[in-house]
C-alpha cells in the first residue's frame, strides 16, 4: 500500500501524493507515459528509493531498509543489471545468496524451456533474452511480490505470451502478486486484474478491470419523443453521449440491468447494450478528467 | 533474515565479482616486496662494504622498517583501487537499483564490501610479507628478532591501507560520478597537505620574516594546519624529525611509532564517516556529481580559493622579478574564474552550468580578495611581531654564515643523516638575560630590511637604482630568531640586518660573545661531550691529518678548546683568519671498510689566539702553524677567475655573488703557472685555504676571490684550492 507518497528530484515532483493499494494475489498494472513516475513509484515500492513523504507498506510493514520485507520482493528493473562476464547460472547463484527460496532446479528447467544457454555470457544476449532471463530469475526467486518495470517491452509476442503463461501458472499455484509497470495499456489488458494510471506524478485512477467492465456500458437507443429522451438521459450516469440523428450512443456507468430498466421505463423505440473494449473504457474514464489515454494505447 | 553466513557469502561474492582487483594487487605487491627485497639483498651482497650494518640488521631495520614509507605509496594505490572498484556500484543507477532492492540492509552491504576490500589487500600482503621473510631467511638475513619487525610492518601497512581506503570510500559515498569521485579522493587525500604547502608558499612570498623551520620539507605538515588528510599524516609519520642532537642524528629513523595511533584513529573516523554517508546517501544520487547537495557550496569554496592562489603562485613563479606582483594578481583572478567555472561544470556535468550560482561566485571572490589583502598588506602584523619580554621564556638565534655547524652524520648507505646548524640552534639554544638579543630582534623587525632582486640584462649596471640597491645590500645578512614563549610555543622569524650598521654589529657581537649562544650552537660542547669520537681531523693552511684520539686526549682537547672558544669575539672572527680547523670524527668500525659509519662534527676553527689548543695539538702531533716552503712545492697554478658581471647574480648577496664567481667554469679562466721558488714563496706567504671561508663567509672580508690557486707539491698530488688574503696579492701576479 502506498499512501500519499511523494518523491522530489531536485525541484521536480516525480511522484506527488500518490496512493495505491495493491491486493495480494492480483496482477496490478501501473500504466503511464514516459515521465509519469511509474519507475520512481516502483523503485519506492521495492525499497530502492526513500519516499520524501507518505508511506509505503508491504503487508503492513515499511519496505525501505527492511530486508525482511524485501525478502518477499523481487524487482526487475527497466534495465536489469547483470554481473560483469556473468552467465545465467552465475547470476542465479548471485540471487540465491540473497533469496533463500531461490529454486535453482526450476531455473535451469526454465532456461531450457526458453532455450537460454546457462553457460553463455549474458553480455552476448539480446535485449529480449535479458528480459526473459530477468523474468525467470524473478519467478525462481519465489518471492510473493514481483515488480516488473517495462518488462514486456522488447519481448516478442510469443515470449510475451509465454511469460504471461508463467505468471498465470504462478498465480494459480502460489501466493503471487506481480506488479507490472508499462507505458502500453494493451500489453497489460489481458493479464492485469487491476490497473492504476499515473499521470504527471499523480494517480489518475485505479480500477479493478472486471469491476470496470461491469460498471460501464455502451448503449445505443432511440426514444419516441424528445421529452422522453430528455427524462431518460437525466436518470443515467452518462460518461459520454453522442447523437447521430435520433440515435443516442451513450457510455453509461452502472449495472447493466439497472441501466436497461431505466431506459425501458420510457418504452424506447430501440435500445441495446454493445460490448466495450478495455481501451474504450479507459478512453471514457480518462476523458472525463481531460487526459488523452490514447497515448498509452497507440 | 540475513545471517552471518550471508555476510560472508556477500564478501565472497564481492571478491569474485572483482577478482581482477586482488590479482592486480598481488602482482603489484610482488614487485614492491619480493622483487624489491631480492634486488636490494643482491645489491647488499655485491657491495656489502658500503653498508654499515650486517644484512640481518639491514633487513630488519630497513626493509621491514624504513622501507615502509615506499611500500605505503603502493599500499595507498591498492587502497584507491579497492575503494573505487568496491563502491563503483553507487555511481551506476542500474546497479544501485539492483543492490538496493535486494533483501540486505545497506549497513551489511557497506560492511561486506568494506571487509572484502580490506581482505583483497591484507591477504596478498601477508602472503608477500611472509614470502619476503622466507627469502630473507634463505639468505641468512632473518632471525627471531626480525619477527616483531615483520609483524609491525604488516600492521603498519594495514593501518595505512585502511586510512587510504576509508578516504577513497568516503569520496565514493559523497559523489555519484566516477571522475568526480577520483578528483574527490585526490582532494580528501591531499587537501591539508596542499593547504600547508600553499600557506608556506604564500607566507614565503608575502611575509618577509617567514621561515620554514628546519628547511627539511616539513612545511607540508605545518603544525598550524589541521592534518586531516592522509598525505599529511603519512608525511608526518615518515618524515625524519629535525635532528637536534648528535645521538638522534646517528640513529636510523624508521617512523614515528607514537603517531601510528593517530593514523588508526583517523582511519576509524573516516570509516565511520563513510558508513554514515552510505546510510544517508540517497539511491538517486547515482550518476550525479555529488550525493549531498548541501555540501556543494562548502566544497566549492574549499576548492576554489586555494586553487586560485595556486594559480597565482604559478604565474608569479614564471614571471620576472619586477612584474611578479601583477602576474600574481592575474593568476589569482584567472585561477579563480577558471576554478569557479570548472567546479560548476563538474557539479552540473554540463557546460551551461558554468554561469550558475552567481551569489556564491561573489562570496568566494570576496573571500579570495580578503585573504589576498590580509597577506599582501600584512594586516595581521606578522612581519612586525616581536614578543614582549613578559611573553618570552628564552630565544634562539641563528646567525647565518657565521660558524655554521654542519654535521653530516653518515650512518651507512641506507641512512644518511644530517644535523642542520639551524635546527640545532633553534632546538638547543636558550638565550636568557641578554638584552641585546631582543633589542636586535626589535630593531630588525622595525627596519624591515629586505634583499631586493632584479632581472639581469646587459647594461643593467647603468641603472643607478640597481647599483645603489646592490651597494646598499652588500653587507646584508640573514638572522633567524626562535622565540620560545612562556606557553611553550616556538615562533620563528627571519630578519635581514645590515652589518654596516654599527649598532647592529654591536648587538650581534653581544650575542656571539654570549656563552649560551656558543654552547647552544656547538654540539661538541653540549650533548656530544660524552661521545667517544676516536679521531680528530685536523686541517691547517697546508696540511690535513687524522689524529687518533684516546679518551683522555679527547677530554683534554675539548676542555682546552672550550675555554678558548668561549673567549672568541666577533671582532676576531671578522678581522682575523683562522690558522686551521679541527673536526671530531667517530671511530670507524674496524670490521667495516670504506664509507662506513663515519661522521664529522663540522669544522671548528683555530685562531692564533687559541694558543693552548695549538700547543696541545702540537703535542698530539699536528702543528697548526706549520708553513710550507717553496722547496716543497713544484709549481703553483693561479687562475684568474673570469669576471662575470656581479650583477648577473643580482638575486644574491655580496658574498654569495663572490662564491658564484668562484664557481665559474674554469675553462673560461686564465691560468698562469709559477715555478720560480721566490715567486712561489711569496705566494705561499699570502694565501689562505678556501676551506676556511665557509664557516665565516659574510663576516670576514679577508679573502680575495679574484684568483684561485692550486698548489702542486713535489711529494704529493696537490693541495686544495686557495685564495689570496685580501690586500696581499703579490705584484708579479697583479701585473701579469
Give B683's Cβ-side CA count (13 Å radius). Answer: 31
Nearest-CA distance from B93 to chain A in Å? 9
Contact residues, chain B, for A46 at CB < 8 Å: 101
Residue A135 CB contacts under 8 Å (≥ 6 apart), including other chains: A76, A148, A151, A163, A166
Q: How many residues does chain A have?
A: 298
Q: Considering only CA atoms, which of B37, B423, B74 is closest in space to residue B234?
A: B74
Give the three cell numbers for residue B127: 602472503
Cα–Cα distance, B520 to B508 (Å, whole number) = 15
Give the three cell numbers for residue A177: 502478486
**Please, what sign has the CA dihedral across residues B721, B727, B733, B734?**
positive
The residue of A15, A61, A79, A81 whose CB has the most chain B CBs within 10 angstroms, and thus the best one to mutate to test that interface, is: A81
The residue of A97, A134, A137, A144 whose CB has the most chain B CBs within 10 angstroms, and thus the best one to mutate to test that interface, is: A97
Given this model, what pLDDT does residue B375 score? 93
Residue B165's pLDDT band (cuts 50, 70, 90):
very high
pLDDT in tens, B280-308: 999 989 988 889 988 888 999 999 999 99
Put simply, the answer to whether A70 touches B102 (Cβ < 8 Å) is: yes
- Quick one: closest CA in B to A100, which residue? B1
- Residue B681: how many other CB atoms lie within 10 Å: 17
Higher pLDDT, B733 or A139: A139
Given this model, what pLDDT does residue B314 score? 95
Last residue of a domain, one of A154, A170, A200: A200
Nearest-CA distance from B170 to chain A in Å? 21
- Asked whether residue B656 carries a pLDDT value surpassing 60, the answer given is no
- Asked whether residue B72 carries a pLDDT value surpassing 50, the answer given is yes
What's the average model confidence in pLDDT over B720-727? Answer: 82
Put simply, the answer to whether A48 touches B101 (Cβ < 8 Å) is: yes
Higher pLDDT, B519 or B334: B334
Backbone angles phi, psi at B365, to 5 degrees: -65, -40
Give the three cell numbers for residue A291: 487526459
**Please, what sign has the CA dihedral across residues A187, A190, A193, A194?**
positive
Put simply, the answer to whether B96 touches A48 (Cβ < 8 Å) is: yes
Contact residues, chain A, for B105 at CB < 8 Å: 65, 67
Residue B645's pLDDT band (cuts 50, 70, 90):
very low
What string of DSSP letters covers B589-644?
Answer: PTT--TT-SEEB---EEE-TT-HHHHHHHHHHT--TTPPPPGGGEEEEEEEE----
Average pLDDT over chain B, rounded to an integer: 84
Higher pLDDT, A196 or B124: B124
Cα–Cα distance, A202 to A197 (Å, whole number) = 8
Give CA separation, B577 vs A4, B606, B696, in Å.
Answer: 95, 9, 9
What's the average model confidence in pLDDT over B500-517? Answer: 92
The residue of A9, A62, A67 whose CB has the most chain B CBs within 10 angstroms, and thus the best one to mutate to test that interface, is: A67
Q: Which of B219-223, B240-244, B279-283, B291-295 has the highest mean pLDDT?
A: B279-283
Matching residue, cell 546457462:
A118
Tell me the H-state helices in A73-156.
Answer: 88-98, 104-113, 127-140
Parent domain of A292: 212-296
Given this model, what pLDDT does residue B691 score? 76
Give the three cell numbers for residue B169: 570510500
Given this model, what pLDDT does residue B417 score? 59
Q: How many CB pairs below 8 A link A and B?
A: 64
Matching residue, cell 685564495:
B723
Query: Do A70 and A184 share a domain, yes or no?
Result: yes
Which member of A68, A70, A79 has the closest CB to residue B101?
A: A70
Q: Strand A216-222 and strand A270-274: pairing?
A: antiparallel
Beta bridge partners of A182: A31
Given this model, what pLDDT does residue B594 score? 46
Put simply, the answer to whether B1 touches A65 (Cβ < 8 Å) is: no
Query: Do A249 and A164 share a domain, yes or no?
Result: no
Last residue of a domain, one of A200, A229, A247: A200
Give CA separation, B316 vs A96, B313, B327, B668, in Å.
Answer: 62, 5, 5, 34
Cα–Cα distance, B500 to B498 (Å, whole number) = 5
Is the CB of residue A223 less than 8 Å away from at least one CB of chain B? no
Contact residues, chain B, for A47 at CB < 8 Å: 100-101
What total number of domains does chain A contain? 2
Given this model, what pLDDT does residue B407 score? 56
Given this model, what pLDDT does residue B654 score? 44
Task: Count the helix, strand and coil residues of chain B and give each as a percent rounded to the nearest 5.
Answer: 60, 15, 30
pLDDT in tens, B408-434: 555 444 445 566 777 788 888 999 889
pTM equals: 0.81
- Residue B219: how many other CB atoms lie within 10 Å: 20
Question: Residues 120 to 139 of A: which have CB under 8 A from any B CB?
Answer: none
Give the three cell numbers for residue B225: 594546519
Put simply, the answer to whether A47 touches B101 (Cβ < 8 Å) is: yes
Percent of chain B with pLDDT over 90: 44
The C-alpha torsion from B7 through B10 and B12 to B14, rounded to 10°, is -140
pLDDT in tens, B570-595: 999 888 888 988 888 766 554 544 44
Given this model, what pLDDT does residue B684 score? 86
Angle value at C-alpha B498, between B493 and B501, nearest 5 degrees: 125
Higher pLDDT, B405 or A267: A267
Is the CB of residue A160 less than 8 Å away from at least one CB of chain B? no
Contact residues, chain B, for A81 at CB < 8 Å: 92, 94-95, 97-98
Nearest-CA distance from B263 to chain A in Å? 33
Residue A205 covered by a domain: no
Residue A245 covered by a domain: yes
Given this model, what pLDDT does residue B264 score? 96
Give the three cell numbers for residue B649: 647574480
Residue A207 covered by a domain: no
Put simply, the answer to whether B104 touches A79 (Cβ < 8 Å) is: no
pLDDT in tens, B133-143: 999 999 888 99
Put simply, the answer to whether B102 touches A98 (Cβ < 8 Å) is: yes
Contact residues, chain A, for B9 at CB < 8 Å: 97
Nearest-CA distance from A57 to chain B in Å? 15
3-class secondary-structure state, position A244:
strand
- Quick one: closest CA in A to B104, which residue? A67
Given this model, what pLDDT does residue B154 score? 96
Comparing A109-118, B92-101, B326-335, B671-680, the range with the smallest average pLDDT is: B671-680
Residue A282 covered by a domain: yes
Residue A196 covered by a domain: yes
Query: Do A193 and A221 share a domain, yes or no?
Result: no
- Residue B529: how many other CB atoms lie within 10 Å: 14
- Asked whether residue B597 carries a pLDDT value surpassing 50, the answer given is no
Is the CB of residue A67 less than 8 Å away from at least one CB of chain B? yes
Contact residues, chain A, for B2 at CB < 8 Å: 67
Given this model, what pLDDT does residue B715 score? 67
Query: Do A181 and A226 share a domain, yes or no?
Result: no
Give the three cell numbers for residue B134: 622466507
- Quick one: closest CA in A to B95, which residue? A81
Q: Considering only CA atoms, which of B426, B414, B74, B60 is closest in space to residue B241?
A: B426
Given this model, what pLDDT does residue B472 score? 84
Query: Do A178 and A95 share a domain, yes or no?
Result: yes
Residue A91 covered by a domain: yes
Is the CB of residue A98 less than 8 Å away from at least one CB of chain B? yes
Q: Considering only CA atoms, which of B607, B552, B611, B609 is closest in space to residue B582?
A: B607
Put simply, the answer to whether B17 touches A46 (Cβ < 8 Å) is: no
Which member of A50, A81, A84 has the closest CB to residue B98?
A: A81
Nearest-CA distance from A172 to chain B in Å? 25
Percent of chain B with pLDDT over 70: 86
Put simply, the answer to whether B283 touches A50 (Cβ < 8 Å) is: yes
Given this model, what pLDDT does residue B528 score? 62
Put simply, the answer to whether A84 touches B100 (Cβ < 8 Å) is: no
Contact residues, chain B, for A84 at CB < 8 Å: 17
Given this model, what pLDDT does residue B260 score? 94
Cα–Cα distance, A95 to A76 (Å, whole number) = 12
Which mean pLDDT values do the consecutive 10-residue runs of chain A (298 residues) have? 82 84 87 82 91 89 90 90 89 91 91 89 88 91 91 78 85 88 77 81 74 81 88 86 87 86 88 78 66 55
Which member of A47, A49, A67 has the closest CB to residue B284?
A: A49
Give the three cell numbers for residue A21: 493499494
User: Does residue B695 contact residue B581 with C-beta atoms inside 8 Å?
Assistant: yes
Q: Residue B379, class by beta-carbon neighbours within 10 Å (0-12 exposed, 13-18 middle, 19+ buried)? A: exposed
What's the average model confidence in pLDDT over B481-505? Answer: 91
Nearest-CA distance from B12 to chain A in Å? 11
Nearest-CA distance from A128 to chain B in Å? 17
Q: Strand A247-253 and strand A73-76: pairing?
A: unpaired
Q: Considering only CA atoms, which of B718, B668, B719, B713 is closest in space to residue B691?
A: B719
Query: Do A106 and A44 share a domain, yes or no?
Result: yes
- Residue A23: how many other CB atoms lie within 10 Å: 11
Contact residues, chain A, for B101 at CB < 8 Å: 43, 46-48, 70, 73-75, 77
Contact residues, chain B, for A142 at CB < 8 Å: none
Residue B175's pLDDT band (cuts 50, 70, 90):
very high
Query: Do A19 and A90 share a domain, yes or no?
Result: yes
**Please, what sign has the CA dihedral across residues B419, B421, B423, B427?**
positive
Q: Which of B110-119, B227-236, B705-714 has the highest mean pLDDT?
A: B110-119
Given this model, what pLDDT does residue A187 score? 74
Given this model, what pLDDT does residue B409 score? 54
Contact residues, chain A, for B282 at CB < 8 Å: 49-50
- Every domain of chain B and the residues it spans: 4-291, 392-521, 527-620, 630-734
Q: Which helix (H) or strand (E) holds B144?
A: none
Question: How high is the ipTM of this complex?
Answer: 0.85
Which residue spans within B355-507 are E strands per DSSP?
392-399, 406-412, 415-420, 476-485, 490-498
What CATH number does the domain containing A160 carry? 3.40.50.300
What's the average model confidence in pLDDT over B492-515? Answer: 92
Residue B400 CB contacts under 8 Å (≥ 6 apart), including other chains: B477, B478, B479, B480, B698
Q: Which helix (H) or strand (E) holds B585?
A: strand B580-586
- Quick one: closest CA in A to B8, which residue? A97
Cα–Cα distance, A193 to B601 (Å, whole number) = 95
Last residue of a domain, one of A158, A177, A200: A200
Contact residues, chain A, for B94 at CB < 8 Å: 77, 79-81
Burial B560-577 (b: 16+ CB within 10 A, else e): bbbebbeebebeebbebb
Give CA separation, B228 vs B232, B235, B239, B663, in Å.
Answer: 7, 12, 16, 45
Query: Do A81 and A112 share a domain, yes or no?
Result: yes
Give CA separation, A254 vs A216, A261, A272, B578, in Å.
Answer: 6, 11, 15, 122
Higher pLDDT, B48 or B630: B630
What's the average model confidence in pLDDT over B481-486? Answer: 93
What CATH number does the domain containing A251 carry? 3.30.70
pLDDT in tens, B558-573: 999 999 999 999 999 8
Which member of A49, A68, A98 has the closest CB to residue B283?
A: A49
Residue B53 CB contacts under 8 Å (≥ 6 apart), including other chains: B61, B412, B414
Given this model, what pLDDT does residue A211 score? 75
Comparing B101-105, B317-321, B662-666, the range with the smallest average pLDDT is: B662-666
Q: How many residues does chain B have?
A: 736
3-class secondary-structure state, position A236:
coil
Q: Considering only CA atoms, which of B601, B574, B522, B493 is closest in space to residue B249?
A: B601
Cα–Cα distance, B20 to B28 (Å, whole number) = 12
Angle value at C-alpha A138, between A136 and A143, nearest 5 degrees: 135
Task: Look up residue B240 and give its DSSP letter.
Answer: P
Is the CB of residue A11 less than 8 Å away from at least one CB of chain B? no
User: Does residue B146 contact residue B59 with C-beta atoms inside 8 Å?
Assistant: yes
Higher pLDDT, B647 or A243: A243
Put simply, the answer to whether B98 touches A77 (Cβ < 8 Å) is: yes
Cα–Cα distance, B324 to B347 (Å, whole number) = 33
Put simply, the answer to whether A99 touches B94 (Cβ < 8 Å) is: no
- Quick one: closest CA in B to A85, which residue? B17
Which member of B6, B103, B284 has the closest CB to residue A70?
A: B103
Is the CB of residue A85 less than 8 Å away from at least one CB of chain B? no
Beta bridge partners of B137: none
Amino acid at each position: 500500500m502506498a499512501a500519499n507518497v511523494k518523491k522530489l528530484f531536485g525541484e521536480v515532483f516525480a511522484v506527488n501524493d500518490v496512493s495505491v493499494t495493491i491486493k495480494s494475489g492480483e496482477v496490478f498494472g501501473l500504466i503511464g507515459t514516459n515521465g509519469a513516475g511509474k519507475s520512481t513509484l516502483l523503485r519506492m515500492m521495492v525499497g530502492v528509493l526513500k519516499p520524501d513523504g507518505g508511506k509505503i507498506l508491504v503487508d503492513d510493514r515499511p519496505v525501505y531498509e527492511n530486508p525482511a520485507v524485501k525478502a518477499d520482493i523481487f524487482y526487475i528493473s527497466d534495465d536489469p543489471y547483470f554481473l560483469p562476464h556473468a552467465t545465467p547460472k552465475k547470476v542465479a547463484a548471485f540471487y540465491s545468496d540473497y533469496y533463500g527460496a531461490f529454486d535453482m532446479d526450476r531455473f535451469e528447467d526454465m532456461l531450457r524451456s526458453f532455450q537460454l544457454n546457462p553457460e553463455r555470457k549474458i553480455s552476448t544476449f539480446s535485449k529480449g533474452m535479458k528480459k526473459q532471463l530477468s523474468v525467470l530469475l524473478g519467478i525462481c526467486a519465489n518471492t510473493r511480490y514481483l515488480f516488473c518495470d517495462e518488462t514486456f517491452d522488447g519481448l516478442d509476442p510469443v515470449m510475451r505470451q509465454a511469460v504471461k503463461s508463467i505468471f498465470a501458472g504462478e498465480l494459480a499455484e502460489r501466493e503471487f502478486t506481480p506488479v507490472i509497470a508499462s507505458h502500453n495499456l494493451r500489453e497489460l489488458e489481458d493479464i492485469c486484474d487491476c490497473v492504476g494510471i499515473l499521470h504527471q506524478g499523480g494517480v489518475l485512477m485505479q480500477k479493478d478491470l472486471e469491476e470496470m467492465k461491469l460498471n460501464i456500458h455502451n448503449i445505443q437507443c432511440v426514444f419516441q419523443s424528445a421529452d422522453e429522451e430528455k427524462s431518460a438521459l437525466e436518470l443515467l450516469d452518462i460518461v459520454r453521449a453522442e447523437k447521430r440523428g435520433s440515435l443516442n450512443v451513450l457510455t453509461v456507468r452502472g449495472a447493466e440491468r439497472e441501466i436497461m430498466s431505466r431506459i425501458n421505463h420510457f418504452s424506447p423505440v430501440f435500445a441495446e447494450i454493445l460490448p466495450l473494449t478495455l481501451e474504450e473504457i479507459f478512453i471514457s474514464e480518462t476523458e472525463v478528467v481531460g487526459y488523452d489515454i490514447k497515448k498509452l494505447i497507440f | 533474515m540475513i545471517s552471518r553466513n550471508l555476510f560472508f557469502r556477500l564478501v565472497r561474492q564481492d571478491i569474485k565479482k572483482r577478482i581482477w582487483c586482488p590479482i592486480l594487487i598481488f602482482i603489484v605487491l610482488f614487485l614492491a616486496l619480493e622483487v624489491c627485497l631480492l634486488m636490494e639483498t643482491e645489491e647488499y651482497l655485491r657491495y656489502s662494504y658500503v653498508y654499515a650494518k650486517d644484512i640481518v640488521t639491514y633487513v630488519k631495520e630497513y626493509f621491514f622498517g624504513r622501507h615502509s614509507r615506499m611500500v605505503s605509496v603502493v599500499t595507498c594505490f591498492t587502497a584507491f583501487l579497492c575503494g573505487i572498484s568496491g563502491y563503483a556500484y553507487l555511481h551506476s543507477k542500474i546497479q544501485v537499483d539492483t543492490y538496493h532492492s535486494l533483501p540486505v540492509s545497506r549497513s551489511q552491504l557497506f560492511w561486506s564490501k568494506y571487509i572484502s576490500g580490506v581482505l583483497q589487500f591484507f591477504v596478498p600482503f601477508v602472503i608477500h610479507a611472509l614470502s619476503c621473510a622466507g627469502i630473507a631467511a634463505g639468505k641468512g638475513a632473518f632471525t627471531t628478532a626480525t619477527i616483531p619487525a615483520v609483524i609491525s610492518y604488516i600492521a603498519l601497512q594495514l593501518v595505512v591501507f585502511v586510512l587510504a581506503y576509508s578516504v577513497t570510500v568516503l569520496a565514493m559515498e559523497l559523489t555519484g560520478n566516477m571522475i568526480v569521485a577520483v578528483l574527490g579522493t585526490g582532494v580528501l587525500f591531499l587537501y591539508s597537505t596542499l593547504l600547508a604547502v600553499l600557506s608556506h608558499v604564500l607566507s614565503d612570498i608575502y611575509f618577509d620574516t617567514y621561515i620554514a623551520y628546519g628547511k627539511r620539507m616539513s612545511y607540508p605538515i605545518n603544525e598550524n594546519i589541521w592534518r586531516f588528510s592522509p598525505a599529511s599524516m603519512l608525511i608526518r609519520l615518515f618524515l625524519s624529525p629535525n635532528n637536534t642532537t648528535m645521538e638522534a642524528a646517528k640513529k636510523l629513523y624508521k617512523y614515528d611509532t607514537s603517531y601510528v595511533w593517530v593514523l588508526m584513529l583517523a582511519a576509524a573516523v573516516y570509516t565511520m564517516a563513510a558508513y554514515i554517508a552510505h546510510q544517508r546517501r540517497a539511491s538517486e544520487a547515482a550518476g550525479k556529481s555529488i550525493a549531498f547537495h548541501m555540501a556543494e557550496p562548502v566544497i566549492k569554496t574549499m576548492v576554489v580559493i586555494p586553487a586560485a592562489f595556486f594559480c597565482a603562485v604559478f604565474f608569479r613563479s614564471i614571471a620576472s622579478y619586477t612584474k611578479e606582483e601583477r602576474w600574481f594578481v592575474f593568476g589569482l583572478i584567472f585561477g579563480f574564474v577558471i576554478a569557479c567555472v570548472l567546479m560548476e561544470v563538474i557539479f552540473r556535468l554540463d557546460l551551461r552550468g558554468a554561469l550558475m550560482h552567481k551569489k556564491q561566485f561573489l562570496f568566494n571572490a570576496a573571500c579570495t580578495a580578503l585573504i589576498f589583502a590580509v597577506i599582501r598588506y600584512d594586516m595581521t602584523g606578522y612581519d612586525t611581531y616581536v614578543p614582549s619580554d613578559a611573553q618570552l621564556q628564552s630565544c634562539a638565534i641563528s646567525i647565518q654564515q657565521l660558524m655554521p655547524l654542519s654535521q653530516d652524520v653518515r650512518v651507512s648507505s641506507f641512512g644518511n643523516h644530517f644535523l642542520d646548524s639551524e635546527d640545532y640552534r633553534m632546538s638547543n639554544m636558550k638565550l636568557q638575560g641578554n638584552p641585546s638579543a631582543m633589542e636586535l630582534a626589535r630593531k630588525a623587525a622595525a627596519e624591515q630590511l629586505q634583499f631586493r632582486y632584479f632581472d639581469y640584462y646587459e647594461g643593467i649596471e647603468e641603472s643607478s637604482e640597481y647599483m645603489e640597491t646592490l651597494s646598499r645590500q652588500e653587507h646584508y645578512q640573514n638572522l633567524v630568531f626562535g622565540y620560545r614563549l612562556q606557553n611553550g610555543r616556538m615562533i620563528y622569524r627571519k630578519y635581514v640586518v645590515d652589518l654596516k650598521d654599527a649598532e647592529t654589529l654591536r648587538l650581534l657581537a653581544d650575542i656571539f660573545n654570549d656563552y649560551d649562544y656558543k654552547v647552544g650552537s656547538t654540539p661538541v660542547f653540549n650533548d656530544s661531550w660524552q661521545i667517544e669520537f676516536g679521531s680528530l681531523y685536523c686541517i691547517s693552511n697546508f696540511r690535513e691529518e687524522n689524529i687518533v684520539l684516546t679518551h683522555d686526549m679527547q677530554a683534554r682537547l675539548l676542555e682546552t678548546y672550550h675555554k678558548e672558544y668561549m673567549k672568541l669575539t666577533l671582532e676576531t672572527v671578522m678581522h682575523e683568519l683562522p690558522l686551521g680547523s679541527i673536526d671530531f670524527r667517530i671511530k670507524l668500525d674496524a670490521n667495516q671498510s670504506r664509507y662506513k659509519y663515519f661522521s664529522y662534527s663540522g669544522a671548528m676553527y683555530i685562531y692564533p689566539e687559541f694558543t693552548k689548543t695549538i700547543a696541545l695539538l702540537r703535542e698530539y702531533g699536528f702543528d697548526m702553524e706549520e708553513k710550507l716552503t717553496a722547496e716543497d712545492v713544484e709549481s703553483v697554478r693561479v687562475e684568474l677567475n673570469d669576471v662575470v658581471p656581479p650583477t648577473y647574480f643580482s638575486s644574491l648577496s655580496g658574498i654569495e655573488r663572490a662564491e658564484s664567481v668562484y664557481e665559474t667554469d674554469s675553462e673560461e679562466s686564465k691560468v698562469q703557472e709559477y715555478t720560480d721558488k721566490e715567486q712561489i714563496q711569496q705566494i705561499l706567504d699570502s694565501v689562505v685555504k678556501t676551506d676556511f671561508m665557509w664557516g665565516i663567509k659574510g663576516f670576514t672580508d679577508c679573502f680575495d676571490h679574484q684568483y684561485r690557486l692550486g698548489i702542486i707539491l713535489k711529494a704529493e698530488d696537490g693541495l686544495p684550492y686557495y685564495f689570496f688574503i685580501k690586500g696581499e696579492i703579490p705584484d708579479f701576479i697583479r701585473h701579469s
